[in-house]
Amino acid sequence: MTEMSSILETDGLTKRFGGLTAVNDVDLTVESGETRAIIGPNGAGKSTFINLVTGLLDPTEGSVRFDGDDITGQEPHEIVQQGVSKSFQTASIFPEMTVQENVRMAALAAERGSFRFDFLSRRDRLTDVADVAEEKLRAVDLWSDRAVDAQNLPYGDKRRLEIAIALASEPDLLFMDEPTAGMSPEETDATVDLVEQVQRELGLTIVLVEHDMEIIFRIADRIAVLNRGTVIADATPDEVQGDPDVQEAYLGGVEL
């Protein structure tokens, strides 16, 4: 039973760069529909871990299973096609394309797969793509800006566009790498509301990397704490809060 509801499982995941071990023997599970947080001081290996799972890096050891299938070592686009999506830490958008085109890119891939020979078919006839894009843009409240070039958006809007793009891939599992970094308090609240709403409506599983503890405690079901590549705690927010190892790791850092 636990096998079936675990949407993501890593087993002994390890990544070494020469002499440096960035991720060390990480066993992590994510249950379908939950909001999982990964926290840790800078350099703890959070980003490396995400890059391993999303295919940007190949692990030195260990494996990753998504929805029961082994995705270890697969290419990023293959993993995305299976239902994993990621919103980047810095807004990774297409600057010289409109907001609408940005989101349509993701919708294109979700609707049509990783590659097609359709270089002679007119893309303005793809209504499903347009519909998905519209839906996501409305969800992040960027629909009225759809004709604006992405590079002309204010930073907070760029982050929201980033999320819209990630959502337009219609994922089952969404990684969010510091989604509220650089946002004002109002924008942060709006983003968190969005994340909660999206999860409710779409039944998404979310894995969140964050530094902002308030957010974590507000929406996370379980938290994994990474320090120097190893998981030092993996439990509910309350349990993690009281964990002495975690407090030590954060000494001089973020207060819980």
Partner 1 sequence: MSDDAETDGGTAIEVTPEDGNLVDRLVAAKDGERFVAVAAFVGVFAMPFVLIDVLGVFDTLIGLSLGGFVGLPTLILSFGIVAVGYNLLLGYTGLLSFGHAALFGSAAYAAGIFSNNVVASPLLAVVVGIAVATLLSWPIGFLSIRRSGVYFAVLTLTFGQMLYFYAFGPGSWLTNGDDGYTPFDVAGGPDLLGFLAMDASITTLFRDITGLTLTLTDGLDMTVGYMLAGLVGVLAIVVAHRIIKSPYGLILKAIGQNEQRVAFVGLNVFRYKLMAFILSGVFAGAGGALYALSKAGLTVHPDATLYWVVSGDFVIITAVGGVGSLAGPLIGAVVFEYIRLVVQGITVPGTEFQIGSLWRLLLGVVFVVVVTLFPDGIYGGLSSLGDRLVERFGAATDADTDDRRPVEEVEETGGDD
Residues that bind partner 1 (CB under 8 A): 54, 75-77, 80-81, 85-86, 88, 92-98, 100-101, 104-106, 108-110, 112-124, 126-127, 130, 143-144, 146-147, 149, 165, 168-169
Sort 252 into a burial class: Cβ within 10 Å, 0-12 / 13-18 / 19+: exposed
Q: Pick between residue 13 and residue 93 the one whose CB is nearest to partner 1.
A: 93
Report how far residue 90's alpha carbon sits from residue 182's, in angstroms, rounded to the nearest whole number.
Answer: 9
CB of residue 176 to partner 1, shortest distance in Å: 13
Sort 123 into a burial class: Cβ within 10 Å, 0-12 / 13-18 / 19+: exposed
CB 176 within 8 A of CB 209: yes
CB of residue 54 to partner 1, shortest distance in Å: 7
CB of residue 180 to partner 1, shortest distance in Å: 20
Q: Pick between residue 164 and residue 249 the one whose CB is nearest to partner 1.
A: 164
Backbone angles phi, psi at 10, to 5 degrees: -110, 145
Q: Pick between residue 101 and residue 221 the one whose CB is nearest to partner 1.
A: 101
CB of residue 78 to partner 1, shortest distance in Å: 8
Tokens 């066993």 correspond to 27
Q: Pick between residue 106 and residue 226 the one whose CB is nearest to partner 1.
A: 106
